[in-house]
Structure 1
Amino acid sequence: MPNSHGPTRRWAGAAAASMLVSALAVAVTPGAALAATPCPPGTIRGIVGGYAYLYSLVGAVPAFNVSDSRSVTNNLDQPAQATFTSQVSKTFSISVTAGTSASLFGFLTTNLSSTIQRSRTTAIGVSTTAVVPPHGRVVGEYGVEAYLVTYDVQEYRWVGGLNACTPSGPLTRATANAPTTTEGWRLSNG
């Protein structure tokens, strides 16, 4: 006996399959769930992961990162000459509280000073002399000049194929200590 519902069942099955495929196609349309827009000017891509950062410099003050400290006290009634020699080596690196050291380094060397280093290790055996006044004291500090930086940073999720950015969190205010290429002794009366 012929099946009177055969073509109708086949058509209904084909229509259901077609609707399922259409629904899946809508669900996986690229970019539909992302609110990515072109990255703002000045955004620096992070080296690790798919993040980008937009920095704004709030302020920077000079600092001195001390790796070694010595003092000489003169108890004589006449001046005395003192020699200070560095005997401790220490490494100073950009300290990052928000963003990445690589992207912050790129921003700071462009917008603050080209002398900033990602990392700087002080030398051993560097000497200087000073005259210590009668009944006085001289303090010698060896180290690296630096900047104490305050900055704002906005993190973005970087969409590489689209070269676009999606905000990935609130604007954050942060601080960093940024060493420079300038190294040496700093003498003061103690």
Structure 2
Amino acid sequence: MNETKAGHATRRRLGTRRRWGGRIGLITTIAIVLSGLLVPAPAHAGDIVPCPATITQWRRLGFGGRPPVTTWEGYRFTTLSVAPQFFVSDGRTLDNTTDLSVSYTVSSSVSQTYSVSATVGITANPSPYLSANVSSTIVASRTTSIGVSLTTTVPPRTRLIAEYGVEGYNVSYAVEAWRVRKAGSATPVTGDRCEEWGWYPQNTNAPTYIEGWRLRTA
């Protein structure tokens, strides 16, 4: 009888361990998945190679020690996709319900600011890269004007939509980060030893300095 009770108790303990073991495994799996969603995974983190010549920006992270050593972080950018966009800040509907052409004059009354978005995960400025590699018309930020007028003729029995805004692009790109510790305060150069730090995919709306009215049929 005692042996039977002891056997039941042992099986209960084993069953409890299995259940908790399964729950801990599930919790660990969920934590790993969430971690992968929240933190960009480095492409080859830890690789130490000569600093690539294609690094276009350097940021000083720290300086100190004896002898003094500077820690730098460098960035190089890769364009993944580009799509032209028109960012609308104001709009009007022009309805002509008559059998004759009608002249309309409209003006913009709403101002909006469009900016290249901040880089997620690291501190880097993509605007110079986008201007050099996507379009020379791209600017870091653009605020649309107020009071710009448009006069147009709407044909009979026609509805037009007049929109005021800024031409731009939707750009998907990636930032690759590298770090280097270097004696003194001189900026790193090609050939210094860099550690690959991570790969950070990004997406941004990039405005240009070109703004104005656009007409389209409703």
Specify if TM > 0.5: yes
Alpha-carbon distance in structure 1 between the residues aligned to 2:161 and 2:60: 43
Query: Secondary structure of 1:106's partner?
Result: helix
Q: 2:75·2:124 contact (CA, 8 Å) conserved in 1? A: no
User: Which is further off, 92-101 or 132-141?
Assistant: 92-101
Instruction: Give the counterpart letter for 1:177 in structure 2.
Output: N
Alpha-carbon distance in structure 2 between the residues aligned to 1:79 and 1:101: 53
1:39 to 29, 51, 75: 51
CA offsets, 1:116-170, max 9 Å, x none? 100111111111112112121111111110011111221222435482432222x
Alpha-carbon distance in structure 1 between the residues aligned to 2:177 and 2:201: 12
Residue equivalent to 2:196: 167
In structure 2, the gaps of 5 or more residues are 1-45, 62-71
C-alpha change, 1:56 and 1:85, in structure 2 (3 Å) is same
Alpha-carbon distance in structure 2 between the residues aligned to 1:88 and 1:132: 23
Shift of 1:173: 2.4
Q: 2:166·2:207 contact (CA, 8 Å) conserved in 1? A: yes
Alpha-carbon distance in structure 2 between the residues aligned to 1:134 and 1:174: 46
TM-score by length of 1: 0.73
Q: Which runs of 4+ in 1 moved over 6 A?
A: none
Shift of 1:35: 6.6
Alpha-carbon distance in structure 1 between the residues aligned to 2:51 and 2:103: 60
Alpha-carbon distance in structure 1 between the residues aligned to 2:124 and 2:92: 32
Query: Secondary structure of 1:65's partner?
Result: strand
Residue equivalent to 1:179: 207
Percent of residue pairs bearing the same amino acid type:
39
Shift of 1:89: 1.0
Alpha-carbon distance in structure 2 between the residues aligned to 1:122 and 1:71: 19
Residue equivalent to 2:150: 128
Residue equivalent to 1:150: 172
Larger radius of gyration: 1
Query: Secondary structure of 1:184's partner?
Result: strand
Shift of 1:48: 6.8
Query: Secondary structure of 2:77's partner?
Result: strand
CA offsets, 1:97-116, max 9 Å, x none? 445462x1111111111111
CA offsets, 1:65-99, max 9 Å, x none? 11111111111111111112011111110024445
Instruction: Give the counterpart letter for 2:54 in structure 1.
Output: G
Q: 1:71-110 maps to which residues of 2 (within 5 A)?
A: 71-98=93-120, 100=123, 102=125, 104-110=126-132
Q: CA RMSD in A?
A: 2.2
TM-score by length of 2: 0.64
Shift of 1:39: 2.1
Number of residues of Structure 1 aligned to a counterpart in Structure 2: 155
Residue equivalent to 1:70: 92
Q: 1:94·1:101 contact (CA, 8 Å) conserved in 2? A: no
Query: Secondary structure of 1:168's partner?
Result: strand
C-alpha change, 1:117 and 1:173, in structure 2 (3 Å) is same
Instruction: Give the counterpart letter for 2:202 in structure 1.
Output: A
Shift of 1:44: 2.5
Alpha-carbon distance in structure 2 between the residues aligned to 1:132 and 1:181: 28
Alpha-carbon distance in structure 2 between the residues aligned to 1:160 and 1:88: 50
